[in-house]
Structure 1
Amino acid sequence: MRLPPAILGNAEEVLREILRFTAPADVTLSRYFKDHSRLGGRERGAIAECVYAVLRNKTFYTDFTGGGRGATMRRLVLLGMAETVGIDALGGLSDDETALLERIKEIDRSLLPARQRANLPDWLYDKFVAQYGEEETLALANVLNTPAPLDLRVNTLKADREKVIAELATAPIAAEPTPYSPTGLRIFKKPALQNLPLFKEGAIEVQDEGSQVLAQLLGARRGEMVVDFCAGAGGKTLAIGAIMRNTGRLYAFDVSEKRLAKLKPRVARSGLSNVHPVVIAHERDAKVKRLAGKIDRVLVDAPCSGMGTLRRNPDVKWRQQADGVGEMTEKQTAILDSAARLVKFGGRLVYATCSLLNEENDAIVEAFLAAHPEFELVPMHKVLAEQRIALEMGDYLKMLPHKHGTDGFFAAVLERKAGDKPAKPADVAEDEAAE
């Protein structure tokens, strides 16, 4: 069945707005669909997939259409639609447009220059080549420029993986166990999960397998005091709460009240009662200082460039700039430094990002250890063995889309050495004296 010709105009309109890069693509799409409520589900899906195809292939599409004025919104949309729904689904095309789509089918992309194949901005391509080499950069970019599968986490407080697989099959939705997370499932289509009883009852949550592994690495135990320092909407918080079997005390810190508000209905659905959302003004908030030296485990999933999530958010590579990464590293250093103060002796601190860049990962951890001799690195292979996760790693966790099938993730586990309890930091003592 062909799509209505008018859909090309809708796609042009929203793509033009998205390519201004003033807001995340998913936010702009959501707003556009809300304002154009007459668009049906099939039309919305086609528009969204077209937009993401253009974002993934922007360099190639622009070059193919001649660049500059030749890369009109109309031509970009045609290429995106042809890539995702096929030429046969498009109606109302001129002879020139049909010829354009036939011509692109004849191109062997493997013969294109490396930069064009990578579909990355020059600054990011250069960073990846310096870090990974050209061959691996192209392998990585090839996967980053494809859509990600849909991963689910089974809430073990309410169901087990086999039961969920069986119940999904009645929908019918085919799901298979993820290779590394013991609670993960992978779906290769994108059904409307929010309508399923499993979702409504809190038995499943959408969460990339790499993110599930990060929650496992924390090693949280029953009855402990745990902090998710940059909780956001709380995907990892929920996973950690289930690992703790709904015992102990789990703080979800974030500077965004709006993000934490999204966590509350998810907590209610999950059945967890040990989660305590806390809005903080900044990483050195007094609410943080009062817990200094009291926490068993702290997860810092730090704000980052997000380059490991390009399969899901391809607009990030165009919205992010090289100087923005430098600003991120300053923020990451400050957040890790403050979060470390929470950790009790013998406690663990996990620093993580969804970045693929060493400057946001290894370099941050190495600088932290140089400035904080009271912490030591716990080799990742040891942590993975403790958690019975079948991954081969060295000192750090480095999950790569083209090797592990997940989003790109980095993590380091740091342990505070045992010793005599030191005097409280001056600012903590001052706060307590003022109370």
Structure 2
Amino acid sequence: MNAAQLDHTAKVLAEMLTFKQPSDAVLSAYFREHKKLGRQDRHEIAETAFAALRHYQKISTALRRPHAQPRKAALAALVLGRSTNISQIKDLLDEEETEFLGNLKARKTEFSDGLNTAAELPQWLVEQLQQHWSEEEILAFGRSINQPAPLDIRVNTLKGKRDKVLPLLQAESADAEATPYSSWGIRLKNKIALNKHELFLDGTLEVQDEGSQLLALLVGAKRGEIIVDFCAGAGGKTLAVGAQMANKGRIYAFDIAEKRLANLRPRMTRAGLTNIHSERISSEHDTRIARLAGKADRVLVDAPCSGLGTLRRNPDLKYRQSAETVANLLEQQHSILDAASKLVKPQGRLVYATCSVLPEENELQVERFLSEHPEFELVNCAELLQSLKIDLDTGKYLRLNSGEHQTDGFFAAVLQRKD
């Protein structure tokens, strides 16, 4: 890192470490304002800024109010998160900064003794996880989500097949491999400019984590069916389900945010999908939903959640969430699941999913629903995946984690309405 890159990184961190906005939004805005920054400059700034987020517990232990000392925070990120030797950056340092970094390295044992600094998790999240997990499990989780995520993509089966696309990517020197569980997925170890790639532009490829692809597979949509994606967002799973149906049948993609649905529409066109009807709703109680009561073959509820399974990609999220925000989400999830269940026809399927690792948002939410809705029963996810020839057994629920499965953290329960 050179002096100019360090100055830019410090300016980014001054804003990013207030945690008032998503970190990727802060970074994107900064790069828009500084259009002359080259590709290597952007890489150095982004990697160091995200290293600061991933090692924020240690940095905030060593620095009071890191956002007010962003240059030191950037230097600490280089040493703690990017394996930079102090000697490599000595020309950038004044005497005080040299002493600060020396003291930082000397505190290695102290950092490993505290669970929050060793796992790089804020105290509120450590306390939440301690209700369910051992210290070893918390530490393993913290370490697994403190690694950068690879780029997973899905082959759109309307336009291509994985066994044809994978060799093309490998021939282009992309470090590409087939995902182990999803038959649609390809994992890129080295990120490429996918949004400019011919196979992305023509709709053959979509960015989608393998865990998210598995949720679509659990929906199990068939041609000619009526499907509801209750919280569609920008539509990654909607598109996967649409391809699964080969454009036959009808998908209703609902969301409360018009902006998210607006992002879905060009993706539908690019993917060649014509069986998706997207519609903004005011809430889960919107009267427009009622017309589908008891008519849907399958309903997917990808519920609003804490997002704590996505911390590899969004390391700032653990500082923008709290025990209070999680508590507020629980009632919202319960209400949405209750409303969505009314759309499922007899023998129809209801899939409840989150990208959270917290049992309160996952298993406990499903258990509460089943206690209130005896007309539904749980379908064993392990058996369902086995029937799809997917060699993955996480028990009656789908539970994915970054350390074991190399996906984002996902949870899913498959429920079926009785006759």
Q: Which residue matches 2:16? A: 18
1:107 offset after TM fit, Å? 6.1
- The one-letter code matched in structure 2 to 1:92 is L
Tell me the distance in 2 between the aligned counterparts of 1:18 and 1:311: 17
Higher mean C-alpha displacement, 336-345 vs 378-387: 378-387
RMSD, aligned CA: 1.9
Tell me the distance in 2 between the aligned counterparts of 1:21 and 1:102: 27
- The one-letter code matched in structure 2 to 1:138 is L
Tell me the distance in 1 between the aligned counterparts of 2:91 and 2:156: 45
1:350 offset after TM fit, Å? 0.2
- The one-letter code matched in structure 2 to 1:97 is E
Q: Which residue matches 1:73? A: 70
Q: Which residue matches 1:49? A: 47
Tell me the distance in 1 between the aligned counterparts of 2:388 and 2:105: 47
Candidates 54, 59, 63, aligned match of 2:57? 59
- 1:186-213: CA deviations, max 9, x gaps? 1112211111101111111111111110
Higher mean C-alpha displacement, 84-93 vs 267-276: 84-93
Q: Which residue matches 1:146? A: 147
Q: Which residue matches 1:424? A: none
Q: Is the 8 A contact 1:180 1:390 kept in 2?
A: yes
Q: Which residue matches 2:29? A: 31
Higher mean C-alpha displacement, 102-111 vs 231-240: 102-111
Taking structure 2 as the reference length, the TM-score comes to: 0.94
Q: Which residue matches 1:92? A: 92
Structure 1's 203 and 70: CA in aligned 2 closer, same or farther, altered over 3 A?
closer
Matches within 5 A, 1:214-363: 214-363=215-364
Tell me the distance in 1 between the aligned counterparts of 2:66 and 2:399: 41
- In percent, how many aligned pairs have the same letter? 50
Structure 1's 299 and 194: CA in aligned 2 closer, same or farther, altered over 3 A?
same
Tell me the distance in 2 between the aligned counterparts of 1:230 and 1:354: 13
- 1:146-197: CA deviations, max 9, x gaps? 1111111111111111221111123321200111111111111221111110
- 1:93-130: CA deviations, max 9, x gaps? 33543454466556656843222111111111112122
1:412 offset after TM fit, Å? 0.5
Q: Is the 8 A contact 1:297 1:347 kept in 2?
A: yes
Tell me the distance in 1 between the aligned counterparts of 2:25 and 2:410: 23
1:75 offset after TM fit, Å? 1.0
Aligned length, in residue pairs: 415
1:195 aligns with 2:193: no
Taking structure 1 as the reference length, the TM-score comes to: 0.91
Q: Which residue matches 1:387? A: 388
Tell me the distance in 1 between the aligned counterparts of 2:83 and 2:402: 25
1:386 offset after TM fit, Å? 2.4
1:112 aligns with 2:148: no
Tell me the distance in 2 between the aligned counterparts of 1:97 and 1:278: 54
SS of residue matched to 2:132: helix
Gaps of 5+ in 1: 419-435
